[in-house]
């Protein structure tokens, strides 16, 4: 009897706490450099408060806890209710664990001793939360009150502020709530090799799950069944209990709804023959995530119109990746993607006129209203896109950019151009005499219920270029072959028979 093919080639990796020790070392070095440069004394402690468990509204139903991201970055701690400190003089790390009530052991399991946290998270010391004031004073207050660097600052994607640590007895300490946030955020922007390995793993698992979804998609299924296949695959084979964000499983017209899949639009449409699917899904492993979008025809065969729009987006995706290296400005990459899409649409007579004029009129934002991509790490929209002094642009399309930074070696950023037919944008464009003349409205009419296409990969900026961490079929013929049952990566013989004799891009 022939053995069944193994359903997955991934296996959850061991995670070493050296990753988080490395993150702490980088923070201490950056903080010390900043203090030296501003002629401030080199003493004090970084103090962070980890996330807390929440119940569903007024009930006793505990929602599954996921650690606050800055705390996860520095300490890698899974449990709720802890605090963490780092002495910037010695680099020593201290965790403070909650003192749990005796009946915790009845309902939630054994109450772990402090030594458990010390071993598990490889920190220098562990105490109870109710001992914070005393420990900080006794051990770090020999020369007076120790200064506490607490985390307070704005998330430039949400507009929300991080919550600075607070504990009983805090008023006895001096605290600084402005220095830490920009420095710690900047540390998160540049990934270490160990962080990259986890983001690569999240990408491997998610790429494989996307391919599984692609293979099983059929007319007559529901969008949520595609979501379910993805979730099952990343958890069953990849050990990923969390996703980086809510799955967007949009088909047909829904694929032009940029954040489809939320509770009011819950991936519940029936898939039709002739629909495009836009699947934006990414798993998370040990806090580090992925963010991947695949677009393909539900029936496994691209129509002429689907090929036109798909290839316009793929050209933009590939053009950007070809041009990414340290020093390149992200706004220029966004414009490169827009221009590539506009040129393709012009070639197909969907729009007409001078592409330079279109760019001046910001016409690209009618087809791609979102930004080209965002930093990725412990958060899907990782912080650091707009450090102090960098202003968000105001023009249509550009105002949606989550960063306009220069690329630096060690960044991970998503490349996710898209082309959508959104009535809420096309109708005002038709009513506007300046933009209206660029459109061939008869052609546009043919895409009325098309929805949209997005292709999204996670890209790591290296010293001399970049590396695409995502591994999904991208060419139309690759997608068609995989949907017809070909293995991925394609074998040479399959490639030759399906690429129409065209040379393959290296």
Q: What are phi and psi of 175, to 5 degrees?
A: -135, 150
Shortest CB 416 distance to Mn ion, Å: 5
Piece of the chain touching Mn ion by CB under 5 A; list 72-80, 297-305, 406-414, 479-487: 406-414
Shortest CB 501 distance to Mn ion, Å: 35
Residues 267-306 that bind Mn ion (CB under 5 A): 291
Strands 283-285 and 288-289: antiparallel
Piece of the chain touching Mn ion by CB under 5 A; list 132-140, 332-340, 410-418, 491-499: 410-418
Map residue 460 onto helix, strand or coil. Answer: strand
Shortest CB 162 distance to Mn ion, Å: 22
Check residue 414 for interaction with Mn ion (CB under 5 A).
yes
Shortest CB 238 distance to Mn ion, Å: 19
Distance CA(184)–CA(383), nearest Å, equals 10
Distance CA(439)–CA(152), nearest Å, equals 47
Nearer to Mn ion, 146 or 451 (CB): 451
> Closest by alpha carbon to 126, among 115, 110, 137, 139?
115
Distance CA(30)–CA(86), nearest Å, equals 13
Residue with nearest beta carbon to Mn ion? 291
What does R_g of the chain's alpha carbons equal in angstroms?
Answer: 25
Nearer to Mn ion, 49 or 414 (CB): 414
Nearer to Mn ion, 212 or 291 (CB): 291
DSSP label at 340?
H
Piece of the chain touching Mn ion by CB under 5 A; list 61-69, 119-127, 303-311, 407-415: 407-415
DSSP per position, 241-292:
-EESS--EEEEGGGGGSTTTTSTTS-S-PBP-TT-EEEEEE-EEETTEE--E
Nearer to Mn ion, 227 or 291 (CB): 291
Nearer to Mn ion, 271 or 469 (CB): 469
String of contacts with Mn ion for each residue 365-404, x by CB under 5 A: ----------------------------------------
DSSP per position, 133-163:
HHHHHHHH-TTSSPEEEE---B-TTT--BPP
Map residue 61 onto helix, strand or coil. Answer: coil
Shortest CB 204 distance to Mn ion, Å: 18
Shortest CB 451 distance to Mn ion, Å: 18
Piece of the chain touching Mn ion by CB under 5 A; list 53-61, 167-175, 340-348, 411-419: 411-419
Is residue 217 within 8 A of residue 271, CB to CB? The reply is yes
Nearer to Mn ion, 214 or 248 (CB): 248
Shortest CB 280 distance to Mn ion, Å: 7
Shortest CB 414 distance to Mn ion, Å: 4
> Closest by alpha carbon to 290, among 229, 382, 378, 203?
203
Shortest CB 154 distance to Mn ion, Å: 21
Distance CA(255)–CA(63), nearest Å, equals 30
Residues 308-337 that bind Mn ion (CB under 5 A): none
Nearer to Mn ion, 208 or 291 (CB): 291
Nearer to Mn ion, 20 or 191 (CB): 191
- Helix ranges (DSSP H) in 85-131: 104-107, 114-121
Is residue 132 within 8 A of residue 94, CB to CB? The reply is no
CB atoms within 10 A of CB 28: 20
Nearer to Mn ion, 240 or 248 (CB): 248
* 118: CB partners within 8 A, 6+ apart: 95, 125, 126
For the chain, what's the residue count? 506
Distance CA(140)–CA(131), nearest Å, equals 13
Nearer to Mn ion, 275 or 291 (CB): 291
Total residues at the site for Mn ion (CB under 5 A)?
A: 2
String of contacts with Mn ion for each residue 112-141, x by CB under 5 A: ------------------------------
Which residues make up the interface to Mn ion (CB under 5 A)? 291, 414
């Amino acid at each position: 009897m022939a053995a069944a093919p193994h359903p997955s080639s991934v296996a959850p990796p061991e995670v070493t706490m050296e990753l988080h020790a490395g993150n702490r070392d980088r923070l201490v070095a950056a903080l010390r450099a900043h203090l030296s440069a501003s002629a401030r004394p080199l003493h004090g402690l970084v103090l962070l408060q980890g996330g807390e468990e929440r119940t569903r509204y007024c009930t006793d139903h505990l929602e599954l806890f996921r650690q606050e991201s800055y705390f996860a970055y520095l300490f890698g701690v899974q449990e709720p209710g802890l605090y963490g400190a780092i002495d910037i003089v010695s680099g020593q790390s201290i965790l403070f664990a909650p003192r749990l009530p005796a009946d915790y052991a009845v309902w939630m399991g054994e109450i772990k001793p402090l030594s458990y946290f010390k071993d598990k998270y490889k920190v220098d010391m562990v105490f109870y939360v109710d001992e914070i004031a005393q420990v900080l004073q006794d051990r770090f207050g020999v020369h007076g009150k120790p200064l506490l660097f607490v985390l307070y600052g704005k998330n430039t994607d949400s507009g929300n502020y991080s919550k600075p640590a607070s504990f009983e007895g805090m008023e006895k300490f001096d605290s600084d709530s402005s220095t830490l946030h920009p420095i710690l955020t900047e540390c998160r922007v540049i990934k270490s090799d160990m962080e990259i390995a986890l983001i690569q793993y999240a990408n491997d698992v998610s790429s494989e799950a996307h391919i599984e979804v692609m293979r099983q998609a059929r007319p007559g299924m529901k969008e949520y069944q595609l979501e379910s296949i993805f979730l099952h695959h990343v958890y069953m084979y990849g050990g990923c209990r969390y996703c980086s964000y809510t799955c967007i499983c949009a088909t047909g017209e829904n694929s032009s709804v940029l954040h489809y899949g939320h509770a009011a639009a819950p991936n519940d449409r029936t898939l039709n023959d002739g629909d495009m699917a836009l699947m934006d899904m990414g798993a998370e492993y040990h806090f580090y995530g992925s963010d991947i979008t695949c677009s393909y025809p539900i029936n496994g065969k691209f129509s002429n119109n689907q090929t036109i729009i798909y290839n316009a987006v793929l050209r933009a995706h590939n053009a950007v990746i070809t041009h990414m290296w340290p020093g390149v400005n992200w706004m220029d990459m966004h414009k490169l993607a827009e221009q590539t899409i506009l040129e393709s649409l012009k070639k197909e007579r969907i729009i007409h006129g001078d592409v330079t004029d279109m760019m001046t009129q910001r016409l690209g934002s009618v087809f791609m209203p979102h930004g080209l991509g965002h930093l990725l790490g412990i958060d899907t929209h990782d912080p650091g896109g707009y450090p102090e002094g960098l202003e968000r642009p105001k023009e249509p399309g550009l105002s949606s950019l989550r960063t306009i930074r220069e690329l630096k070696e060690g960044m991970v950023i998503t490349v996710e151009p898209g082309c959508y037919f959104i009535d809420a944008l096309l109708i005002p464009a038709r009513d506007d005499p300046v933009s209206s003349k660029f459109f061939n409205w008869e052609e546009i009419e043919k895409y009325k219920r098309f929805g949209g296409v997005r292709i999204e990969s996670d890209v790591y900026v290296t010293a001399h270029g970049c590396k695409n961490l995502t591994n999904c079929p991208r060419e139309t013929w690759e997608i068609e072959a995989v949907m017809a049952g070909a293995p991925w990566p394609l074998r040479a013989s399959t490639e030759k028979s399906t690429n129409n004799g065209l040379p393959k891009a290296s």
